[in-house]
Homo-oligomer: A and B are copies of this chain.
């Protein structure tokens, strides 16, 4: 049916080996025959079968990514980076969406057994030792993004340090009544970043002998709307905070919204600092702790691909830098 490498070879009066060589840009082909083969390929409109290539090379040329996708802008941004990197290397990116812990485990297992991907990226989810063992046996390299495991390479940021810098920034501006809005401690997938960021902030407070009362610590489901509600609680306090650190920019948006609803001016009446630096943050002038989301995805692909080449290069641990993005949502308190 479809034109194969044999058709091309016959037509160009060469062996299939030669056609294969020009296809893969091998140097040891004379310019003359290369031209001839290329011409035939063109005239026959020949396209190599991806299926056959992959089978012969014993590579799927695909990378899988496992994540609770469709929840947070930060995840989407990481995915963008992965897609871009994969496309640049001509790899396919296969997405596995995790909705529940049970599905997560099923996917962890399936990716080790099915041999459908050459490598794997896992975002924010922490695999168990048994999963790691299974992947190792299957020979599937895995790189963790925004999470860690002692036996696996990973790409992370220092959330504690990020929280520390957020706190530091507010303290330096002169704030002493600093509140925190973040995720609940126990979520279905036990994400830890919110908690870590809080720890960092608290550390900064402690170093400056600033108290952090329980009333300033608010947690709720991740999202703009819950954060908005929590902020209303904060601002209804007898001694409302003069500054709020939100565990993510999404939540910072909720804080901002609540402040606006109360007619507060930002930053005069309330300083707000977020975390992540998602796309809209710059637009809104939100001060935030920037982490390289797109890059985390892009380099994640890099890492898996590197593992594919040199099997030995295990456990490369990469920490991406954080950066304080100073904008107009923070200022000294009045």
Contacts and interface: CB of A to CB of B under 8 A. Distances in A.
Contacts of A191: none
A82 to B, nearest CB: 9
Nearest to A47: B113
Interface string A296-312: 00000000000000000
A92 B70 CA distance: 17
Contacts of A263: 263
A93 B93 CA distance: 8
A80 B51 contact: no
Interface size class of A (residues with CB under 8 A): 35 or more
The majority secondary structure among interface residues of chain A is: helix
A68 to B, nearest CB: 11
B93 A94 contact: yes
A87 interface: yes
Nearest to A45: B137
A279 B280 CA distance: 20
A283 B223 CA distance: 11
Given A62-B94, A70-B76, 5 more contacts: A51-B54, A51-B60, A70-B79, A76-B76, A83-B97
A60 B54 CA distance: 11
A87 B284 CA distance: 38
Contacts of A84: 97
Given A60-B51, A260-B260, A116 B96 contact: no
B116 A50 contact: yes
A76 B69 contact: yes
Contacts of A283: 225
Contact of A96 (B55, B83, B225): B83
Query: Quick one: which of A55, A93, A280, A284 has the most chain B CB within 10 A?
Result: A55
A43 B261 CA distance: 65
A95 interface: yes
**How many copies of the chain does the oligomer comprise?**
2
B79 A69 contact: yes
Query: Quick one: which of A83, A113, A284 has the most chain B CB within 10 A?
Result: A83
Contacts of A186: none
B92 A93 contact: no
A277 B51 CA distance: 40
User: What 10 A-B pairs come out closest when comparing CB atoms?
Assistant: A55-B55, A83-B97, A70-B76, A50-B116, A92-B94, A260-B261, A51-B55, A50-B115, A70-B80, A47-B113
Interface string A27-70: 00000000000000000000101111011001110100000011
A114 interface: yes
Contacts of A80: 69-70, 97
Given A51-B58, A225-B280, A92 B76 contact: no
A77 interface: yes
Contact of A115 (B51, B69, B116, B257): B51
Nearest to A253: B224
Contacts of A62: 92, 94
Interface in A250-301: 257, 260-261, 263, 280, 283-284
